[in-house]
Amino acid sequence: MKNDEGETFTMSEGNDRDTIRCSFCSRTAHEVTSMVAGSEAYICDQCIDDASGMVDISESQPVTVPTNVRTEVPTDTPDEVPASTPWQQRMSPMDIKAALDAYVVGQDQAKKALSVAVYNHYKRINASDDLSEFRDVELEKSNILLIGPTGTGKTLLARTLARVLDVPFSISDATALTEAGYVGEDVESILAHLLHAADFDVERAQRGIIYIDEVDKVARKAENASITRDVSGEGVQQALLKILEGTVASVPPKGGRKHPEQSLINIDTSNILFICGGAFDGLNDVIARRVSNNAIGFTADSTEKMDKFDPTIYQHVEPDDLLRFGLIPELVGRLPVVSALDHLSEEAMRGILREPKNALLKQYQKLFAMDGIELRFDDGAIEAIVTKAKTLNTGARGLRAVLEDTMLDIMFDIHSKSNIARCTITRDTVLHKSEPVFEPQRATA
């Protein structure tokens, strides 16, 4: 088929020229000189010219690396040095920890470990040969393993890091991973997520950070070897080994399964920092059995005992405990920095309700403020919320569950009341679903 200028135009049978549109600018085939057809898309000659011009400019001029599009940088993040300054000179470990403190309550040891590891990681990447006495010294990366009960802030720490770092950052879930060739996601899909976060800039993606959540779910299902393959357990751990250590992996640009005719992108993982996190439910039993050395005999000394419900029990974790839990030795060796998060104390839970920028009480206060109502929680209500949340044993998630249950009827009925200026939640409101204290608006003279 030919267009008005006499050039050949290819069109599938049954299509109309007015229904064929460029997938980028939406021009119809009648409005352009030529149209190139793909398997599921079209591109016009004008978009091709524009794209080739942009490529020419990018090759002749240095391009300023944009901020990671997946996240927002808080306005109070220390950024007083020009963007051209190396990253590690703009944010020290104390700056990173201060940014984490604004969103995460407690867990100081984990924050310090993350801050130092991230800072050293980028010093390693940007290392120069100025120090002649250390010219032959190669710095190795230190991947991180976060261990802690559910609801203690592991994923929140990772998301907050993504807010404050000017680097590509992706969060992947290990529960969907399987060995290559089985139903599920290949391990390389976590690299595809990072590539998307870097806007398909391979060079920038190779300096990024990947957080692998729920890594404890790929533990070996049984201590004894099985006659069947553990395709979502030990098999995934084995597939992760080379990626964590550093290799050139072939990644499908759109994720999903590989196939022979697909174009793949090679990514070197040597400079990618991996942070793995998991609740490791049952690891406290392993630690308690190891610490409580039960001696036998009349002459045995009194032995140290540790309760498996001790809030600080995860601070005593050792590599052997992880091996007994189900991680393979090779994977434990590639995660040299192990940081434990403690169970949340009542004081920490009170802080979670009030202190962070996205504190739970502030979220509900904002919802009520949108309706012109001031929402307050008295001290008795906060204590009752913490007490009920502790019984759920789900950490900070229990606080939201209690608040949602408490506020449901109030938010449903609040619009049926008129002239409400202030709503105060009391202890009885939380414990017995009593009606909160409503204060009417004052009449203006």
pLDDT of res. 226:
56
Question: Tokens 């391979």 map to which residue?
Answer: 202
Contact 79, 85 (CB under 8 A): no
Question: Does the pLDDT of residue 413 top 60, yes or no?
Answer: yes
pLDDT band at 67 (very low <50, low <70, confident <90, very high): very low
As a whole number of angstroms, the distance between CA 399 and CA 387 comes to 9
The mean pLDDT of 197-223, rounded to a whole number, is 87
Extended strands (E) in 123-168 = 144-147
Q: Residue 30 gets which letter from DSSP?
A: G
As a whole number of angstroms, the distance between CA 364 and CA 436 comes to 15
Q: What's the CATH number of domain 87-340, 3.40.50.300, 3.90.320.10, 1.10.10.60, 3.40.50.1970?
A: 3.40.50.300
- The answer to whether the 87-340 and 348-440 domains have the same CATH topology is no
pLDDT of res. 132:
63
Q: What's the CATH number of domain 348-440, 3.90.800.10, 3.90.105.10, 1.10.8.60, 1.10.730.10?
A: 1.10.8.60
Question: Tokens 């806007």 map to which residue?
Answer: 199
What pLDDT, in 10s, does the model give residues 187-203? 888 999 999 989 989 99
Contact 290, 304 (CB under 8 A): no
Supply the DSSP string of 306-324, one letter for each residue: --TT-TTGGGG--HHHHHH
Q: Average pLDDT, whole number, for the chain?
A: 79
Can you tell me whether residue 350 is helix, strand or coil?
helix
Contact 36, 43 (CB under 8 A): yes
What pLDDT, in 10s, does the model give residues 108-156? 999 999 999 888 887 887 766 566 677 777 778 889 999 988 888 898 8
Question: Tokens 């009480």 map to which residue?
Answer: 361
Contacts of 61 (CB under 8 A, 6+ apart): none
The domain spans of the chain are 1-63, 87-340, 348-440
Q: Which whole-number Å values give the CA distances from 347 to 132, 311, 342, 364, 376, in the listed order?
A: 50, 13, 13, 21, 20
As a whole number of angstroms, the distance between CA 387 and CA 364 comes to 19
Angle at 259 between CA 258 and CA 262, to 5 degrees: 90
pLDDT of res. 42:
81
As a whole number of angstroms, the distance between CA 395 and CA 360 comes to 13
As a whole number of angstroms, the distance between CA 83 and CA 420 comes to 49
Ranking 21-35, 71-85, 301-315, 424-438 by mean pLDDT, the lowest is 71-85
